[in-house]
Amino acid sequence: MQKKSYLCSGLCPYVNTSNMSSNLQMKILAKETAIYGVSSIVGKFLNWMLVPLYTYVLQQQSDYGIVTNLYAWTALLLVILTYGMETGFFRFANKEGENAQTVYSTSLIALFTTSLLFAIACVVWQVPIAHALGYPAHSEFIAMLGIVVAMDAFASIPFAYLRYKKRPLQFAVLKLLFVFLNIVLNLFFLVLCPKIQDWSIIASWYNPDYGVGYVFVANILATGVQTAALLPTILEGRKGKKSGKDLFSYNLLGQMLKYSLPLLVLGICGIMNQTLDRILFPFFYTGEDAQTQLGIYGACFKVAMVMMMFTQAFRYAYEPFVFAKHKDRESVAAYADAMKYYIVFSYMILLGMIFYMDLLKFIIAPSYWGGLKIVPIVLWTYIFQGVYFNLSFWYKLTDKTQWGAYFSIIGVVITFGLQVAFVPKIGYMASALSSTVCYLVIMSLSYLVGRKYLTIPYDLRRIGTYTLIVLTLLAGYYAMAYLLPMNDWIKMGIGTILLCIYCGIFYRMDGKRLIKK
C-alpha cells in the first residue's frame, strides 16, 4: 500500500505554521502543553493530594479499596458514554466542507441524550447493580457515581470545544473549579465535620459512620457546579442556528459515529488496560483482605501519577495540534520531534521520582509503604502508554481507526490473561506488571504497522541512546543503593547527581539546539 506523508487539508483554528521550522513548531507545542498543564498537572496534582488525606483519614485500608474499585468502574463507563465523540469532534470540526458549529451542537445533543438515559438507569437500578458489585449496603454509591459519570461524559464536548476555539484559560479555570471544590468538600466532610459534629446544624444531617461515602458526596456536588459553569459554552451550540437542521444533523451524526465507534472499542479496551487490574482484583484475589490489598495497590499506584499528569497535559495540546497541522507537508518532522521530546522529558520524570522515592513515600500513610515497589513499574507503564498515544495518530489521521481497536483488544487479552494467571499467586505485583507488558506490546505493534500507512521519521537512534543512558543510570543507582550502606538522604544525594548527569547529557545532545532555535 502506498505510504502517505501528509493528508488532506481541513478547517483549522491554529495560525498557519506551514513555513515554520520543526523547532519553532515544538516551541509552540510546548507552550500549549504548558498552558493546558495549568489545569491538567496542577489540577491532578491537587487531586493527587487527596491520596494522603484518604490514606491517613479513612479508618481502614479496605475503605480506600472501595474508592479504588468504584472509580476504576467510573473510568471505564466514562469512555463508553463518550463513545469516541471527543476525537470525532476534532476530526470533523477541522474537516473541509463541515460547519464546526453544527459539528459541535450535534455532538452536544448526542452526548446529552445518552448521558441522561444512563443517569436515569443508574438511579432506577442502583440496588441490583450494587449487589452485583459487592456493595449491597450502599446502593446510593452507584446512583451518585452514575450521575457523576453522566455529567462528566456530557461535559467532554464543551471542554473539547474550548480546546478547539483556543481558550486554554477558560478551560483551565473550569477544570480547576472542580478540583478546588472537590478538595474543599472532602476536607469539610472528612476532616472538619468530625470535629464539629456536635454542632446542631451539623448533627442534624452528618453521619460520622458514613466515612468513605462522603468521598462520593463531595464528587457529585463538585461535578454539578462545574457542569453549571459550562452552560455558557454549552449554549454556544445554538449560536447562529436558524433551523433545527443547522442545530442537529442526522447525516453528520452518522458520519461521526462511523468514525468514532471504532474509537469506542479502542477506548473501552484502552481504559480496560488501565483499570482492569483494579476492577478484577477483588474477583481474582480471593483472600479475606482483598479490599485491603486493593487499597494498598490503589494508593501506591497514585504515587506514580506525576507521569500521567505530564502525559495528559501533552495530550491536551498535542491532539488539536496534530489534527490542525495534518495538511502541512512538513508536519511529519514535527511529529517525530514531538515523540523524541516526550520521551526525553518522561525519562526525566521517571528518574526524579525513583531517586526521590524516600521522600515521596510520605504522600501516603506508612501502612501503605509495602506497595511502593510497584511505582517504578507503573512509571514505565505510563511512558509506554504515552508513546502509544503519540503513535496512535497514524490511524486517526488516515481514518483507519479500526487498527486502534485491534491493538486495544490485543492489550485487553494480554492484561486479562496475565491477571488470571498471576494475581492469585503474587497479588497486586501481577496487576502492575500486566499493564506494563500490555502497553509495551501494543506500542510496538502500533509502530510496526503504522510504518505502512504514514511515514514518520522517528529518530530511533537518538531515542535508543536516551533509553540506554536511563537504564545505565538506574542500574548504577540500584547497585549503590542496595550494595552499599547508606541512609535515605545519601541515596537522594546520589540520585540528584545522576539526574543532573542526565539533564547535562540532554542539554548537550538536544537541549542547546532547541533553546537557541
What number of other Cβ atoms are within 10 A of residue 317's Cβ?
23
SS3 string of 392-438?
CHHHHHCCCCHHHHHHHHHHHHHHHHHHHHHHHHHCHHHHHHHHHHH
Confidence of residue 32 (pLDDT cuts 50, 70, 90): low
Region of poorest pLDDT, from 43-57, 219-233, 245-259, 471-485: 43-57
Q: What grid cell was written down for 134?
A: 459487592
Q: Is the pLDDT of residue 213 over 50?
A: yes
Residue with the three cell numbers 487539508: 9
Count up the domains in the chain and report the number: 1
Which residue carries 446544624 as its cell? 201
Provide CB contacts within 8 A for 400, sequence distance 6+: 394, 453
Residue 484 lies in a domain: no
Residue 90: per-residue pLDDT:
84
243 pLDDT higher than 80: no
pLDDT of the residue at 9:
31
Share of the chain above pLDDT 70, in %: 83
pLDDT at 230: 94
Give the C-alpha distances (Å, rounded to integers) separating 193 from 6, 211, 218, 219, 240. Answer: 58, 11, 13, 17, 48
The span from the CA of 341 to the CA of 513, in Å, is 13
Predicted confidence band at 217 (pLDDT cuts at 50, 70, 90)? very high
Residue 321 or 326, more confident: 321
pLDDT band at 268 (very low <50, low <70, confident <90, very high): confident
Q: What DSSP string runs through 226-269? A: HHHHTHHHHHGGGTT--SHHHH--HHHHHHHHHHHHHHHHHHHH
pLDDT at residue 383 is higher than 80: yes
Q: How far is CA 253 from CA 95, 387, 517, in A?
A: 14, 31, 44
Report long-range pairs for 502-508 (Cβ below 8 Å, ≥24 apart).
Answer: 502/347, 502/348, 502/351, 502/469, 502/470, 502/473, 503/348, 505/469, 506/344, 506/348, 506/466
> Which is more confidently placed, 26 or 445?
445
Within-domain flag for 221? yes
- Average pLDDT, whole number, for the chain? 82
The whole domain housing 269 covers 23-458
Question: In sequence order, what are the beta bridge partners of 4?
Answer: 454
Is 245's pLDDT higher than 80? no
Most confident among 41-45, 77-81, 94-98, 208-212 (mean pLDDT): 77-81
First to last CA, the chain: 37
Q: What is the pLDDT of residue 220?
A: 95
Mean pLDDT: which of 289-303, 350-364, 464-478 is highest? 464-478
pLDDT band at 99 (very low <50, low <70, confident <90, very high): confident
Query: For residue range 105-148, what is the model confidence (pLDDT) as tens digits?
Result: 899 999 999 999 999 999 999 999 988 887 787 899 999 999 99
> Tens of pLDDT along 442-499?
999 999 998 888 778 888 999 999 999 999 999 999 998 888 778 888 889 999 999 9
- In three-state secondary structure terms, 454 is strand
Report the Cα 430 to chain-centroid distance in Å: 21
Q: Which residues are bridge partners to 454 per DSSP?
A: 4
Sign of the CA dihedral with 87 first, then 308, 184, and 175 last? negative
pLDDT at 15: 40
Domain-located, residue 18 = no
Residue 277: which pLDDT band, with cuts at 50, 70 and 90?
A: confident
Let me know if residue 500 belongs to a domain.
no
Residue 402 is predicted with a pLDDT of 78
Please state which of the ranges 113-117, 328-332, 379-383, 512-516 shows the lowest mean pLDDT.
328-332
Contact 327, 9 (CB under 8 A): yes
Indicate whether 61 belongs to any domain.
Answer: yes
Separation between Cα atoms, residue 413 and residue 263, nearest integer Å: 18
Whether the Cβ atoms of residue 44 and residue 312 lie closer than 8 Å to each other:
yes
In a domain, 188, yes or no: yes
SS3 state of residue 4: strand
Band of residue 169 on the pLDDT scale cut at 50, 70, 90: confident
- Domain-located, residue 12: no
Tell me, yes or no, whether 27 lies in a domain: yes
